[in-house]
Chains A and B, each alone.
Chain A
């Protein structure tokens, strides 16, 4: 089974901090994605990467950046965390059979 691992399940950070969310997949997938999920808004795509060092903006990239230095690892960076970035963050990798998600990181910015 494909495994997508997110490094933290819960995080609490202060406003203005730089935050790193890490995601690792073990199936050599080329495509990886970061979503955030909020009540009433569903899942929204922040960024995705289709190859090492390659990235594309999703629907809500503002306030975020990403890094993909190795194929298995895709990092989401909050440059200066704000309270409106409090959310559930989900990483996924994909094959032609669909996406596999990590278990999510619930980030609270105080």
Chain B
């Protein structure tokens, strides 16, 4: 079983729609959770951290369910510029104080005009 699993998509949605991504992780001791965004032929960039209480950043809402080992990302009022691959990222443990992040395969999203 993969440590972090995501639906690879692709998701094609019209501009203005609400879209939700889900992700599951296998290590119940995982400590930190993130969503990264990767544009075509570019490096991943941190979109937002995910906190136990859930958190929101503008049109983006992230949720964590530790009991179900499940993370979600909701994008409201989607824009053309939201087209990208979204990576679910988990930190299962520290090694020598370093966060060792494990990345999901990514979910590809295309917003259509």
Chains A and B form a bound pair: yes
- A residues at B contact (CB < 8 Å): 30-31, 35, 40-43, 45, 48, 50-51, 54, 56, 58, 90, 94, 96-104
Whether the Cβ atoms of A42 and B96 lie closer than 8 Å is no
Query: Does B44 sit at the interface, judged by CB under 8 A?
Result: yes
| Number of B positions contacting A (CB below 8 A) | 21
Interface centre among B34, B43, B97, B106 (most CB of A within 10 A): B43
Interface 1/0 per residue, B33-63 and A, CB below 8 Å: 0100000001111100100000000000000
Chain B residues positioned under 8 Å from A100 (CB to CB): 46
Whether the Cβ atoms of B98 and A31 lie closer than 8 Å is yes
Chain B residues positioned under 8 Å from A96 (CB to CB): 99
Chain A residues positioned under 8 Å from B98 (CB to CB): 30-31, 48, 50, 56, 94
Whether the Cβ atoms of B99 and A31 lie closer than 8 Å is yes
Chain B residues positioned under 8 Å from A103 (CB to CB): 42-43
Query: Does B72 sit at the interface, judged by CB under 8 A?
Result: no
Q: How far is the CA of A41 from the CA of B101 in the complex (A)?
A: 15
- B residues at A contact (CB < 8 Å): 8, 34, 42-46, 49, 87, 95-106
Chain B residues positioned under 8 Å from A98 (CB to CB): 34, 46, 49
Please pick, from B45, B95, B97, B104, the residue contacting A101 in the complex, using a CB distance under 8 A: B45
Chain B residues positioned under 8 Å from A104 (CB to CB): 42-43
Please pick, from A30, A50, A90, the residue contacting B95 in the complex, using a CB distance under 8 A: A50
